[in-house]
Amino acid sequence: MHDTGTAAQSEPAEDSDGQSRHSRRFGLFAATTLVMGNIIGGGIFLLPASVAPFGTISLLAFGVLTLGAICLALVFGKLANQHPQTGGPYVYAREAFGDFAGFLAAWSYWITAWVSNAALAVAAVGYLDVVFPLGDSKFAMMLAALVVQWLPAAANFAGTRYVGAVQVVATVLKFAPLLLVAVGGLFSFRTENLGPFQASGSGAVGAVSASAAILLFSYLGVESAAVSAGEVRNPRRNVGRATIFGTLGAAFVYLLGTLSVFGNVPHDKLVDSGAPFSDAVNNMFGGTWGGTVVACAAVISILGALNGWTLLSAQTPYAAAKDGLFPQVFATKKRGVPTVGVIVTVILASLLTVYNYTAGSDGVFEILVLVTTFTATVPYLLATAAQLYFLLSGQSERVNRGRLVRDGVLAALAAGFSMWLVAGSGYAAVYQGVLFLFAGVIVYACMSARKKRAAAAS
């Protein structure tokens, strides 16, 4: 419904899907930066220290993880070509296996998004401390983490037009210092800084799996363009391309950047570092100015990632709510953004942040990362299983028969990769993740019953 009179003249009304002059569909470049910005968030800036306890064998895990991420990117590109709607894994799982599978994908992805936001905020605090020393004050750290979460939420309330603009700017600004470390760091690389190849007590396979489970957090976001397909111009063409380009660009920076940090920061210092990229630059150039510049870039990067993740965290429940599988309030959309989903997500992430700081537990970032590893693999596995289903069930309208074998191998590799990540995330993360997942089963029972009653009444 459109308003009339002077209000309509001064502020164009929104259509039924929440479109207005404040919303604008992403082109290929903006969609690619959305993928890269969400992948290269806080993970690259903190993860070298998180996996250092495993030794340099974690670099091997990074290589394996990169191949798996590329397989996932290719599968998402194929699926988005056939299902160019907002929702990503939710859409694919529901189309293949029905409402319950679709709900589990949406629920798990939503949990992944807001828990990831809390983890990103924790990562930002380590670099904020370089620029504005926070001391050892838990309250100051917690307050800084909350501010970092709410600023991107404010950008989302302004509309998708501004979300895309912020994403492009943040991606461009953070790439210069990242490339400086990734490429420049190779010239000051010292092999004696690498430490032992295998530093943990577990075997080689266990060390690779465990470090890969932590490193998966660095590749969350590979599905970003697919989840926001409804906001992308010409999604059948651009979503797949943006997914591949974004993942390959992120992989290049990741692998070189992590290798450079390992070679520029002594292993014993890297294990306890709260800002490993800043430490690497300080060692490369001497003094602290370089580390401060990198810390500023890290904060900008994380804000950009939170900007994109906040949108994604609202898109999946929005798609599920339109199908009656999430509370209807999540279907509220304004200026191209599901505003209720944004509000609920940032509140939940804030509460989780407060809990983790007040509980006084060590390794907050690693704990949150491992939980998201499990919850992220649920929609990933359902999406790849959906692709296998489409390929094996002979649905000619959904598959390219000339590429059947290649697409089948890719889907099988992506599915196996997802299963491997579940195994590597550890018992504690699987335990906590399953609790989150089972809570969703109760929510689904209530929503399904309500939907059935509404259908019977009509």
Mean pLDDT, contiguous 10-residue spans, the chain (458 residues)? 35 42 58 71 70 80 82 82 76 88 88 82 77 74 84 71 63 71 79 75 73 72 68 71 80 81 82 77 74 76 76 79 82 77 87 77 63 82 88 66 74 83 74 85 85 77
Calpha distance 436→440 (Å, rounded): 7
pLDDT value at position 444? 87
The pTM of the full predicted model, rounded to 2 decimals, is 0.73
Q: Are 414 and 68 in contact (CB under 8 A)?
A: yes
Calpha distance 71→384 (Å, rounded): 10
Query: Between the CA of residue 42 and those of 36, 386, 446, what are the distances in Å?
Result: 12, 30, 36
pLDDT value at position 69? 80
pLDDT value at position 4? 33
Q: Are 47 and 217 in contact (CB under 8 A)?
A: yes
Which residues are CB-contacts of 197 (< 8 A; sequence separation ≥ 6)? 55, 56, 57
Q: Are 281 and 181 in contact (CB under 8 A)?
A: yes
Calpha distance 418→366 (Å, rounded): 19
Which residues are CB-contacts of 127 (< 8 A; sequence separation ≥ 6)? 45, 275, 278, 294, 295, 296, 298, 299, 302
Neighbours of 205 (CB within 10 A): 9
Calpha distance 450→447 (Å, rounded): 5
Q: Measure CA 450 to chain center.
A: 31
The DSSP symbol for 182 reads: I
pLDDT value at position 376? 82
Q: Are 218 and 44 in contact (CB under 8 A)?
A: yes
- For residue 334, give the 3-state DSSP assignment: strand
Residue written as token pair 């299983």: 385
Across the strands, what pairs with 334? 337
Across the strands, what pairs with 232? 26
pLDDT value at position 360? 60
Buried-state track 31-54, b at ≥16 Cβ within 10 A, e below 16: bbbbbbbbbbbbbbbbbbbbbbbb
Calpha distance 236→316 (Å, rounded): 19
Calpha distance 30→231 (Å, rounded): 11
Backbone angles phi, psi at 91, to 5 degrees: -60, -45
The residue type found at 391 is L
Neighbours of 210 (CB within 10 A): 23
Neighbours of 268 (CB within 10 A): 10
Q: Are 363 and 421 in contact (CB under 8 A)?
A: no
Q: Quote the radius of gyration of the chain (alpha carbons, Å).
A: 22
Residue written as token pair 């990074």: 62
Closest CA to 124 of 262, 275, 271: 275
Calpha distance 123→205 (Å, rounded): 28
The DSSP symbol for 18 reads: -
Per the document, the length of the chain is 458
Q: How many CA atoms lie within 13 A of 438 on its CB side?
A: 6
pLDDT value at position 166? 64
The DSSP symbol for 26 reads: B
Q: Measure CA 185 to chain center.
A: 27
Backbone angles phi, psi at 98, to 5 degrees: 100, -175
Q: Are 222 and 380 in contact (CB under 8 A)?
A: no
Calpha distance 419→416 (Å, rounded): 5
Calpha distance 44→443 (Å, rounded): 35
